[in-house]
Amino acid sequence: MNTRRITLLVAVVLAIGTGILTLRYLSSIQQQQQVQQVENRPIIVANRDIPARAKITPDMLTRTVRPGNEVEPGALSDPKQAEGDIALITIPSGSTITETKVGRPAEVGLTVRLKPGERAITIPADRIKAVSGLIQPGDRVDVLASVPRGQGKPPRTMAIVRGAMILAINTSLDEAGATPSPDNTNPGTITLGVTPEQAKLLTTADLNTTLRLALRSPQEPVRSLPADDLTFNDLGATGGGGAAPRPVNVPPPSVPARVPGSKSPVQVIDGDRITAAGI
Protein backbone atom coordinates (compact mmCIF):
# COMPACT_ATOMS: atom_id res chain seq x y z
CA MET A 1 0.00 0.00 0.00
CA ASN A 2 2.76 2.44 0.91
CA THR A 3 4.56 1.74 -2.34
CA ARG A 4 1.43 2.35 -4.37
CA ARG A 5 0.69 5.62 -2.57
CA ILE A 6 4.22 6.84 -3.06
CA THR A 7 4.09 5.97 -6.75
CA LEU A 8 0.76 7.76 -7.09
CA LEU A 9 2.04 10.87 -5.34
CA VAL A 10 5.13 10.93 -7.50
CA ALA A 11 3.00 10.65 -10.64
CA VAL A 12 0.74 13.50 -9.49
CA VAL A 13 3.74 15.72 -8.72
CA LEU A 14 5.28 14.97 -12.10
CA ALA A 15 2.01 15.72 -13.85
CA ILE A 16 1.66 19.06 -12.06
CA GLY A 17 5.26 19.97 -12.81
CA THR A 18 4.83 19.04 -16.45
CA GLY A 19 1.68 21.16 -16.65
CA ILE A 20 3.44 24.18 -15.12
CA LEU A 21 6.38 23.86 -17.50
CA THR A 22 4.03 23.51 -20.44
CA LEU A 23 2.12 26.66 -19.44
CA ARG A 24 5.36 28.61 -19.03
CA TYR A 25 6.55 27.43 -22.42
CA LEU A 26 3.31 28.43 -24.12
CA SER A 27 3.33 31.80 -22.33
CA SER A 28 6.89 32.51 -23.46
CA ILE A 29 5.98 31.67 -27.07
CA GLN A 30 2.98 33.98 -26.90
CA GLN A 31 5.10 36.82 -25.48
CA GLN A 32 7.67 36.36 -28.21
CA GLN A 33 4.94 36.52 -30.84
CA GLN A 34 3.56 39.70 -29.31
CA VAL A 35 7.02 41.28 -29.24
CA GLN A 36 7.57 40.34 -32.85
CA GLN A 37 4.21 41.87 -33.80
CA VAL A 38 5.06 45.14 -31.97
CA GLU A 39 8.49 45.43 -33.56
CA ASN A 40 7.29 44.78 -37.09
CA ARG A 41 4.99 47.79 -37.58
CA PRO A 42 6.21 50.00 -40.45
CA ILE A 43 5.65 53.76 -40.47
CA ILE A 44 6.87 56.77 -42.42
CA VAL A 45 8.69 59.72 -40.87
CA ALA A 46 9.91 63.10 -42.12
CA ASN A 47 13.58 63.05 -43.06
CA ARG A 48 13.74 66.87 -42.96
CA ASP A 49 11.81 69.80 -41.53
CA ILE A 50 8.62 70.20 -43.56
CA PRO A 51 7.14 73.72 -43.31
CA ALA A 52 3.41 74.23 -43.02
CA ARG A 53 1.48 74.26 -46.32
CA ALA A 54 4.39 72.60 -48.16
CA LYS A 55 3.51 69.93 -50.69
CA ILE A 56 4.61 66.44 -49.59
CA THR A 57 7.01 64.71 -52.00
CA PRO A 58 8.52 61.19 -51.69
CA ASP A 59 12.02 62.58 -51.02
CA MET A 60 10.75 64.17 -47.80
CA LEU A 61 9.74 60.81 -46.28
CA THR A 62 11.53 57.72 -44.99
CA ARG A 63 10.11 54.31 -44.09
CA THR A 64 11.09 52.87 -40.74
CA VAL A 65 9.92 50.35 -38.13
CA ARG A 66 8.95 51.16 -34.55
CA PRO A 67 7.34 49.28 -31.65
CA GLY A 68 3.60 49.36 -31.93
CA ASN A 69 3.15 50.86 -28.46
CA GLU A 70 5.29 53.83 -29.54
CA VAL A 71 3.47 54.55 -32.80
CA GLU A 72 1.18 57.60 -32.87
CA PRO A 73 -2.49 57.04 -33.68
CA GLY A 74 -3.26 57.46 -37.37
CA ALA A 75 0.37 56.91 -38.44
CA LEU A 76 0.82 56.32 -42.17
CA SER A 77 2.82 53.31 -43.34
CA ASP A 78 3.30 54.01 -47.05
CA PRO A 79 4.79 57.18 -48.61
CA LYS A 80 2.16 56.97 -51.35
CA GLN A 81 -0.50 57.68 -48.73
CA ALA A 82 0.93 61.18 -48.17
CA GLU A 83 2.29 61.93 -51.64
CA GLY A 84 0.67 65.07 -53.05
CA ASP A 85 -0.80 66.09 -49.69
CA ILE A 86 -0.13 69.42 -47.96
CA ALA A 87 1.49 69.73 -44.53
CA LEU A 88 -1.19 71.16 -42.24
CA ILE A 89 1.40 72.12 -39.61
CA THR A 90 5.17 72.42 -39.43
CA ILE A 91 6.52 68.83 -39.21
CA PRO A 92 10.01 68.55 -37.64
CA SER A 93 12.54 66.07 -38.96
CA GLY A 94 12.02 62.59 -37.50
CA SER A 95 8.35 63.13 -36.70
CA THR A 96 5.81 60.48 -37.63
CA ILE A 97 3.53 61.36 -40.54
CA THR A 98 -0.06 60.95 -39.39
CA GLU A 99 -3.48 61.58 -40.93
CA THR A 100 -3.93 64.72 -38.82
CA LYS A 101 -0.68 66.33 -39.97
CA VAL A 102 -1.30 66.18 -43.71
CA GLY A 103 -4.31 66.77 -45.92
CA ARG A 104 -5.49 67.50 -49.41
CA PRO A 105 -5.23 71.09 -50.74
CA ALA A 106 -9.00 71.48 -50.50
CA GLU A 107 -8.76 70.79 -46.76
CA VAL A 108 -6.08 73.41 -46.17
CA GLY A 109 -7.86 76.46 -47.58
CA LEU A 110 -9.14 79.17 -45.31
CA THR A 111 -12.72 78.65 -46.47
CA VAL A 112 -12.79 75.23 -44.80
CA ARG A 113 -12.18 76.89 -41.43
CA LEU A 114 -14.99 79.41 -41.78
CA LYS A 115 -18.24 78.55 -40.04
CA PRO A 116 -21.60 79.41 -41.63
CA GLY A 117 -22.29 83.12 -41.16
CA GLU A 118 -18.63 83.90 -40.49
CA ARG A 119 -16.36 86.16 -42.51
CA ALA A 120 -12.56 86.32 -42.75
CA ILE A 121 -11.06 89.80 -42.64
CA THR A 122 -7.41 90.82 -42.48
CA ILE A 123 -6.02 93.74 -40.50
CA PRO A 124 -2.45 95.08 -40.40
CA ALA A 125 -0.34 94.17 -37.41
CA ASP A 126 3.18 94.25 -36.01
CA ARG A 127 4.94 92.72 -33.00
CA ILE A 128 3.55 95.35 -30.62
CA LYS A 129 -0.04 95.26 -31.83
CA ALA A 130 -0.01 91.44 -32.04
CA VAL A 131 1.11 90.73 -28.44
CA SER A 132 4.82 90.67 -29.27
CA GLY A 133 4.26 88.06 -31.97
CA LEU A 134 3.27 85.39 -29.41
CA ILE A 135 -0.27 84.79 -30.67
CA GLN A 136 -1.00 81.83 -32.94
CA PRO A 137 -3.87 80.76 -35.22
CA GLY A 138 -6.59 79.27 -33.06
CA ASP A 139 -6.16 81.85 -30.28
CA ARG A 140 -8.98 84.25 -29.44
CA VAL A 141 -8.39 87.98 -29.09
CA ASP A 142 -10.21 91.22 -28.34
CA VAL A 143 -9.76 93.96 -30.94
CA LEU A 144 -9.13 97.39 -29.37
CA ALA A 145 -9.62 100.61 -31.33
CA SER A 146 -8.05 103.88 -30.14
CA VAL A 147 -9.67 107.10 -31.36
CA PRO A 148 -7.37 110.15 -31.40
CA ARG A 149 -8.10 113.36 -29.53
CA GLY A 150 -10.64 115.57 -31.24
CA GLN A 151 -12.69 118.72 -30.61
CA GLY A 152 -11.40 119.24 -27.10
CA LYS A 153 -12.15 115.69 -25.97
CA PRO A 154 -9.51 113.22 -24.73
CA PRO A 155 -8.58 110.12 -26.75
CA ARG A 156 -10.54 106.96 -26.06
CA THR A 157 -9.94 103.22 -26.50
CA MET A 158 -12.82 100.83 -27.13
CA ALA A 159 -13.00 97.03 -27.33
CA ILE A 160 -15.05 96.86 -30.51
CA VAL A 161 -14.81 93.06 -31.04
CA ARG A 162 -14.67 90.42 -28.31
CA GLY A 163 -13.29 86.88 -28.67
CA ALA A 164 -12.45 86.93 -32.38
CA MET A 165 -10.78 83.75 -33.63
CA ILE A 166 -7.37 84.13 -35.30
CA LEU A 167 -7.54 82.17 -38.55
CA ALA A 168 -4.10 83.01 -39.94
CA ILE A 169 -0.97 85.03 -39.28
CA ASN A 170 0.49 86.34 -42.52
CA THR A 171 -0.03 83.24 -44.70
CA SER A 172 0.42 80.68 -41.91
CA LEU A 173 -2.54 78.53 -40.87
CA ASP A 174 -0.70 76.57 -38.16
CA GLU A 175 -2.93 75.74 -35.20
CA ALA A 176 -2.04 76.77 -31.67
CA GLY A 177 -0.14 74.05 -29.84
CA ALA A 178 1.65 72.86 -32.97
CA THR A 179 5.24 73.69 -33.76
CA PRO A 180 4.99 77.43 -34.47
CA SER A 181 5.96 78.62 -37.91
CA PRO A 182 8.85 81.14 -38.03
CA ASP A 183 6.52 83.32 -40.08
CA ASN A 184 4.31 83.83 -37.00
CA THR A 185 7.01 85.64 -35.00
CA ASN A 186 6.99 88.65 -37.36
CA PRO A 187 3.31 89.28 -38.06
CA GLY A 188 2.46 91.77 -40.78
CA THR A 189 -1.18 90.81 -41.13
CA ILE A 190 -3.72 89.04 -38.93
CA THR A 191 -6.78 87.30 -40.38
CA LEU A 192 -9.77 87.10 -38.02
CA GLY A 193 -13.03 85.17 -38.18
CA VAL A 194 -15.90 87.59 -37.43
CA THR A 195 -19.54 88.24 -38.24
CA PRO A 196 -20.52 90.33 -41.30
CA GLU A 197 -21.34 93.33 -39.07
CA GLN A 198 -18.02 93.03 -37.27
CA ALA A 199 -16.24 92.89 -40.64
CA LYS A 200 -17.75 96.26 -41.60
CA LEU A 201 -16.90 97.66 -38.17
CA LEU A 202 -13.27 96.54 -38.43
CA THR A 203 -12.97 98.07 -41.90
CA THR A 204 -14.16 101.45 -40.60
CA ALA A 205 -11.94 101.20 -37.52
CA ASP A 206 -8.90 100.25 -39.58
CA LEU A 207 -9.30 103.40 -41.70
CA ASN A 208 -9.98 105.81 -38.81
CA THR A 209 -8.38 104.42 -35.63
CA THR A 210 -5.35 102.58 -34.33
CA LEU A 211 -6.04 98.88 -33.77
CA ARG A 212 -4.42 96.60 -31.21
CA LEU A 213 -5.06 92.98 -30.17
CA ALA A 214 -5.49 91.69 -26.62
CA LEU A 215 -4.99 87.94 -26.10
CA ARG A 216 -7.78 86.15 -24.21
CA SER A 217 -7.55 83.14 -21.94
CA PRO A 218 -8.97 80.00 -23.62
CA GLN A 219 -10.85 79.27 -20.38
CA GLU A 220 -12.79 82.56 -20.49
CA PRO A 221 -16.21 82.58 -22.18
CA VAL A 222 -16.30 84.58 -25.40
CA ARG A 223 -19.22 86.73 -24.20
CA SER A 224 -17.89 87.37 -20.70
CA LEU A 225 -17.71 91.11 -21.49
CA PRO A 226 -19.81 93.22 -23.86
CA ALA A 227 -18.29 94.97 -26.86
CA ASP A 228 -18.02 98.78 -26.87
CA ASP A 229 -19.67 101.06 -29.41
CA LEU A 230 -17.25 102.73 -31.79
CA THR A 231 -17.60 106.53 -31.65
CA PHE A 232 -15.39 109.23 -33.08
CA ASN A 233 -14.87 112.39 -31.03
CA ASP A 234 -13.81 114.39 -34.07
CA LEU A 235 -16.36 113.06 -36.57
CA GLY A 236 -19.53 114.03 -34.75
CA ALA A 237 -20.88 110.52 -34.14
CA THR A 238 -24.20 110.41 -32.33
CA GLY A 239 -24.47 109.28 -28.75
CA GLY A 240 -21.80 111.46 -27.15
CA GLY A 241 -19.42 111.66 -30.05
CA GLY A 242 -19.39 115.48 -30.22
CA ALA A 243 -21.13 118.06 -32.35
CA ALA A 244 -21.57 117.52 -36.04
CA PRO A 245 -18.97 119.32 -38.20
CA ARG A 246 -19.98 122.59 -39.85
CA PRO A 247 -20.75 122.24 -43.56
CA VAL A 248 -18.20 123.61 -45.97
CA ASN A 249 -18.45 124.59 -49.62
CA VAL A 250 -22.25 124.86 -49.38
CA PRO A 251 -23.65 126.92 -52.33
CA PRO A 252 -25.73 129.98 -51.40
CA PRO A 253 -29.51 129.72 -51.70
CA SER A 254 -30.75 130.36 -55.17
CA VAL A 255 -32.64 133.61 -55.96
CA PRO A 256 -36.15 132.94 -57.28
CA ALA A 257 -36.52 133.86 -60.92
CA ARG A 258 -38.53 136.98 -61.77
CA VAL A 259 -41.91 136.34 -63.29
CA PRO A 260 -42.52 138.42 -66.42
CA GLY A 261 -45.00 141.22 -65.77
CA SER A 262 -44.44 141.28 -62.01
CA LYS A 263 -43.23 144.36 -60.19
CA SER A 264 -39.75 144.36 -58.80
CA PRO A 265 -39.57 145.46 -55.15
CA VAL A 266 -37.38 148.46 -54.38
CA GLN A 267 -36.19 149.80 -51.04
CA VAL A 268 -37.33 153.30 -49.99
CA ILE A 269 -35.18 154.94 -47.33
CA ASP A 270 -36.99 157.64 -45.32
CA GLY A 271 -34.75 158.79 -42.51
CA ASP A 272 -34.14 155.79 -40.33
CA ARG A 273 -36.93 153.77 -41.89
CA ILE A 274 -36.58 151.32 -44.79
CA THR A 275 -39.73 150.33 -46.70
CA ALA A 276 -40.34 148.32 -49.86
CA ALA A 277 -42.46 149.53 -52.70
CA GLY A 278 -43.31 148.12 -56.07
CA ILE A 279 -42.48 149.86 -59.28
Q: Per-residue confidence of the chain (279 residues) as pLDDT tens digits?
A: 567 777 777 777 788 888 888 888 888 777 766 655 556 789 999 999 998 878 899 899 999 988 877 888 889 988 888 888 888 888 999 999 998 888 876 556 677 677 888 999 999 988 888 888 788 888 999 999 998 877 777 888 999 999 999 988 887 776 544 455 555 567 789 999 999 999 999 999 999 999 999 999 988 887 788 898 887 764 444 444 443 344 334 344 444 445 455 454 555 555 555 555 544
**For 175-198, how does the pLDDT look when each residue is reduced to its tens digit (9 = 90+)?**
544 455 555 567 789 999 999 999
User: How many CB atoms neighbour CB 180 within 10 A?
Assistant: 20
* 96 and 122 part of one domain: no
Task: Return d(Cα 107, Cα 84) in angstroms, integer.
Answer: 13
Q: Is 262 among the domain residues?
A: no
State which of 169, 184, 215 marks the end of a domain: 215
* 134 and 179 part of one domain: yes
Task: Return d(Cα 56, Cα 88) in angstroms, integer.
Answer: 10
Query: Could you give the number of structural domains in the chain?
Result: 2
How buried is 160 (Cβ within 10 angstroms: 0-12 exposed, 13-18 middle, 19+ buried)? buried
State which of 108, 134, 164 marks the end of a domain: 108
* 125 and 63 part of one domain: no
Q: Classify 70 as helix, strand or coil.
A: helix
* 208 and 122 part of one domain: yes
* 128 and 190 part of one domain: yes
Q: Is 15 among the domain residues?
A: no
* 145 and 86 part of one domain: no
Helix (H) or strand (E) holding 87, with range, is: strand 86-87
Q: Is 87 among the domain residues?
A: yes
Going by C-beta distance under 8 Å and a sequence separation of 6 or more, which residues neighbour residue 156?
Answer: 146, 147, 231, 233
**For 53-63, how does the pLDDT look when each residue is reduced to its tens digit (9 = 90+)?**
788 998 999 99
Could you tell me the pTM of the whole model?
0.47
* 184 and 166 part of one domain: yes
* 145 and 195 part of one domain: yes
Q: Is 141 among the domain residues?
A: yes
Mean pLDDT (the chain) is: 77
What is the domain range of residue 77?
41-108
178-180-183-186 Cα dihedral, nearest 10 degrees: 130
Q: Is 162 among the domain residues?
A: yes
